[in-house]
Chain A
Amino acid sequence: MNHASVSETNATARLGMWLFLFTEIMMFGGLFLLYASYRVRFPQAFSDSAQQLNIWLGAANALILLTGSFCTTLSVTALRRGSRRLAMILLAITVLMGGLFLFNHYLEWSGQIRAGIYPNSPVLDHMSHGEILFFGLYYVTLGLHGLHVLIGSIILAVMAVFIGRGSLTPEDTIKLENASLFWHLVDIIWIFLFPLYYLMH
């Protein structure tokens, strides 16, 4: 393949990735829309429920995802400049961040479940309509987002393997760039989920 056709394929691959990210924005956008309209209808219940969540766990998760974004961006630059080893280490840190994020989620959710707050639980059924809606949305939205963190971590781990095997080279980094774009989008979604579910009370 000559140089022009490689960069043309790359431009198409990047455009394809952005189009996929647009569909993701719309999917989470629907959940944000639900949150906003129910919050307007049940302001007090949403505010009280948000107060029950642990701000510090949410903030730690924001820090974790931002650090992941930081490391993947660095890894793209490192690979482009020929430092494969550094790129792999940075990707490993990002995957570790993904694991930490999910572990925090596990701590948070097991705490909630122990307190009897999960969809259809007897405790939740006795709460107000607004609180039931808040926690329903909380589980669906954060669950879907957590699934994205898991997928993003797996994809970045595969990218590290590709670099190790030599199939992802400094001359052609588009796979890593697209994987990194996915992680950034997942990070941006948390940038909004964090204030909506943890900070706004």
Chain B
Amino acid sequence: MSAENHAPASYRSIVLTYLALLLLAAVSVTVSICHLGAANVWVPLGIGVLQAALVVMYFMHLRKEHWLWQLLFLIVVMSLEMFIGLTFVDVLYR
């Protein structure tokens, strides 16, 4: 297990992550106002995934954690995706 305390994140990386998150939110809102049809669903969701990844990696420091924790996180996200995917197999082809 990684028992070491990782070094604190630098102010610079925190500020850059914050700016990236704000920029992505602005893109998401702009796309939604522009009414682009199907893109109105997939662009905000895709941007949401990107924003969540930034928060998990840079604010929650998952990138500095032990690989076992990263694997655990991946398993949780994939289980959730599997639940949703399997439900849709039922919902869409009922």
Whether A and B are associated in the same complex: the answer reads yes
- B47 and chain A: residue at smallest CB distance: A195
Question: A199 touching B28 by the CB < 8 A rule?
Answer: yes
Given A7-B3, A69-B55, A184-B55, verify A74-B76 contact (CB < 8 Å).
no
Contact digits for B51-90, partner A, Cβ 8 Å, 1 yes 0 no = 1100110011000010001001100110110011001100
Question: B76 touching A26 by the CB < 8 A rule?
Answer: yes
Residue of B2, B48, B69 touching A18 (CB-CB under 8 A): B69
- A174 and chain B: residue at smallest CB distance: B5
Q: Which residues of B contact A4 (CB under 8 A)?
A: 3
- Number of B positions contacting A (CB below 8 A): 47
| Distance of A189 Cα from B72 Cα, bound (Å) | 19
Question: A73 touching B76 by the CB < 8 A rule?
Answer: no
| Distance of A19 Cα from B76 Cα, bound (Å) | 10
Residue of B3, B5, B44, B51 touching A200 (CB-CB under 8 A): B44
- A59 and chain B: residue at smallest CB distance: B29
Binding site for B on A (CB under 8 A): 4, 7-8, 10-11, 14-15, 18-19, 22, 25-26, 29, 32-33, 36-37, 40-41, 55, 59, 62-63, 66-67, 69-70, 73-74, 76-77, 80-81, 180-181, 184-185, 187-188, 191-192, 194-196, 198-201
13 A–B contacts, CB within 8 A, in A order: A7-B3, A8-B3, A11-B3, A29-B80, A41-B91, A70-B59, A74-B11, A188-B52, A191-B52, A194-B28, A195-B47, A195-B48, A200-B41
